[in-house]
Amino acid sequence: MDDYEKEIADLEVQIEQLVEAEGDAKTIAELSMQLEILRAIYARTLDLLERGKKDSDLRFGLRMQGYGDWTLDNVYAFVYERAVELEPQQHGAFVGGIKTTDFALLLNS
């Protein structure tokens, strides 16, 4: 389990505990939205990481944009920073934007 999976798992546990304790609904909703965003970013990171293993242009693009070698941490940093730059929208549209953005294309632009 990498650090990102652990962060997601820890957040899931925190939400479950709040739900069981009948915690503040607003806090539960906010943490649930954060969890959904982290899951989307992590899924896109893993997808891009796998694509880059077979595509030297993607690895080169990551280095050229200042993120260094093709590692989980560096690819995650790239995806995270690009996701933050997406147009601010409602939560569902934001997560959808993360899920549909072609991060590989952004690497080579």
Question: Dihedral angle at the C-alpha atoms of 63, 66, 69, 74, nearest 10 degrees?
Answer: -130
The SS3 assignment for 37 reads: helix
- Looking at residue 91, its pLDDT comes to 53
Q: Which of 51, 36, 53 is nearest to 98 (CA)?
A: 36
Please choose, from the candidates 69, 78, 15, the residue with its C-alpha nearest in 3D space to the C-alpha of residue 46: 78
Q: Is 38 exposed, middle or buried (0-12, 13-18, 19+ CB in 10 A)?
A: middle
Q: What predicted TM-score, i.e. pTM, was given to this entire model? A: 0.84
Q: Mind listing the pLDDT tens digit of every residue in the chain (109 residues)? A: 899 999 999 999 999 999 999 888 999 999 999 999 999 999 999 999 999 999 999 999 999 999 999 999 999 999 999 988 876 665 566 777 788 888 888 887 6
Structure token pair of residue 83: 């996701």
Interhelix angle 25-54/56-64, nearest 10 degrees: 120
Instruction: Give the pLDDT score at 66.
Output: 96
Give the span between the Cα atoms of 75 and 49, in whole angstroms: 7
The whole-angstrom separation of Cα 25 and Cα 19 is 8
The confidence score (pLDDT) of residue 15 equals 96
